[in-house]
Structure 1
Amino acid sequence: MRLPLPLSELIKLMAGIYIHIPFCKQACYYCDFHFSTSLKYKDELLQALVKEIQLQKGYLDGETIETIYFGGGTPSVLSSDEINLLLGTITNLHTVSSNAEITLEANPDDLDREKLSLLSKTDINRLSIGIQSFFDDDLKWMNRVHKANEAESSVKRAQDTGIENITVDLIYGYPLLNDQKWKQNLEKVFELNVPHVSSYSMTVEPRTALATFIKNKKQPAMDDQQSAAQFLILMDAMQQQGFEHYEISNFCKPGHYSKHNSNYWKGVKYLGIGPSAHSFNGETRQWNIPNNTKYIQALQQASIPSETEILTETDRLNEYIMTSLRTIWGLDLNKLNTIAEAASSQLNIAAQRYFENGWIEQKDQIINLTQTGKLYADHIASELFF
């Protein structure tokens, strides 16, 4: 399989900026990201975002910005003027690459022709559309805002507008989704000819509505065997359609991997702006308070409401193991040794059982998960931790 980009080139990638937009029209039952369903303080929060961008201008040490990512929440609730305000603030304070990848997460119901026309006049050049399913009963079960027909039409409208760098999200492994419906969802994505797909197994996070429904016996628990079987269906279908499985949950046509998320997995520096956003500069990790009101109040006083953790050698080893094993580029034993001398020898001892059962494989100094191993990625990584 051809690698999306050689490791030597990935190392050259510059820094990224993530902007968290904490607003949604309604709460999906499974979601545990930070957001509010009230837009009452949207103007105040936008000004706080601008202020934080200004206060954080030195965090990335002047590195060129290669990627900007609007996540959430639902960033497509922003107008084009509001997007331009945030992008303009960034470009005034940072050197942004002329071919920077600038992504906006969007819900299908937001992407009407007028919205897409206005977006095409901003510097947004990549859309991440949260489709999740092409079946109305599934979308209702998730408490999604959009309908199945909006999911399909939003992609087509974006393509008609000239936005072709599109990724869509799909979810599998939940009670309503039998294997036949899952295959139909995948077939619909292939028909739409999108170059990138992110697909996740339904997980039950604490303090979500879904967790409460299951606890109160109003919904059945998720079935791990169903999830594993549908993940295998996903991997086989993507391979047949010429997609590269470059990260556990991400697939792309050659050359269309997400630069921004690839940077996360390769340990590139990034700055997170907004309530609950995280930042990483190689030595420390920083995260903002997940509270809109407190975030706004702090920024009005020119203070960043964040906490910082200094990463120990063990932290950096374990983080590299966790992220690298998820990717097509794999775990580089030489890089592991640059974090801690002789770390590769210790890891090889712990990994022996997974070589023997065929869950991982090694070529030269690179360790990768096999297809079977991808079913147990988190477990394998945790067992290899220092």
Structure 2
Amino acid sequence: MGWLEEVFPHDSGTPQAAPGEALRNHALAGINAPRTITDRLAGLESDLAALTLSRAAVGGAGDPVGTPRQGSTMRSRWLPPSQDGDRITGMNNPNRWTFSGASRSPVYALRNKLGFLTYAQFLQDFGRDRSPAYGNHENADPGLDGKTPLSVDSPYVRLHRESVGGRTFQFPPRTQPMHALRRSLIAGLDVVDEINGAGRPEVRDWVSVVTFDGLGPYHQPEVAYELSADYPAAMEVVSKLQAVGDVGATTALDPAVLLAQQHLAPISEGGRGRVFAKKVIVIVSDGVPNAWTTEESEVAAYRTTLEEDDAAEFYAAGATWLNAPLMHASKWKSEGKTIPIGMGLGADHEYADRMARLSNTADSSGSSPRTSGNPAMYESELRRIFEDYLRPSPKLVK
């Protein structure tokens, strides 16, 4: 990753008069794509030299300016050389699952081009966890170096200060909608703080943060912040949240909901919750569930116990990744509230509506809380949602 910026700095020495086809046909001579990380690192110095030469050397008669001398070999490779299968046309670009009508043409038009747009896309495709120099079967290992400079796990990440609700935080680089989500969650926690005032910690509302992305050796839903009345500490954790790379299934909602429910359970049942406290789980997601651990047989058995209207909220038998979280929310409604919030253009609001109806937290029209899809509005929208559900309101009684 770093060598792209070194060899092709922002002042770009790309020949002005060289047509795209000519560059593809003549760009790099005799550079074979290494097949292992050892070979790749060993060949890095020669690749750098060849790439630098391609900017400065003069080729044969009729070749565009910058074409390296090829002698009698005349072998060529595309620019950049294909190091592995992670091309910009992969990595879920575009997301046809969420946006079935999305055209691939704009993405394909960016193949073999180097610039700010493709570099920014590359950084976000590899996300917080992926190290591009390694294969996808291992590159999410947190012990590997080479995380991209957007990642909080990189020594090169640039943190910056911003204020939310009068508090100042150190945030990672702004990527949307993730940065808007961080600020929005902090604003939501600020509402909880305002509602509770200066009461003693043992009687104030407690908050926790559970994160979820994929399932595998390096991905599991986890309790990022345990139940506590220390709201500023929870906000600090939220301020560093980042999305993972776009490789495989990365919305493991099924085990995440189970983990949140377990964490809220009383200490006598293995959790960290209090017996007298009301329980609320707020789910904020910009995607569609796509990873699960619950057995389909458990979902099928539970559906047979439901009234017809509730059973109709479930998807077709076998769609366990969708149905299992719905089952957990429905089962848990005697214990507490589940409030699903779709945030982002990729959010599945229909799915959130079904979960809200099954957990009795939908509004009078049967809908879950809505956000606009505009990151500039997320902060005020999520704050409003938290206030609507959590702030006590007077009720007239006879």
For Structure 1 versus Structure 2, the TM-score category normalised by the shorter chain is under 0.3
Ranked by relative contact order (alpha carbons within 8 Å, sequence separation 6 or more), the top structure is 1
TM-score w.r.t. the length of structure 1 is 0.25
Structure possessing the higher radius of gyration over alpha carbons: 2
Report which of the two has the higher share of helix. 1
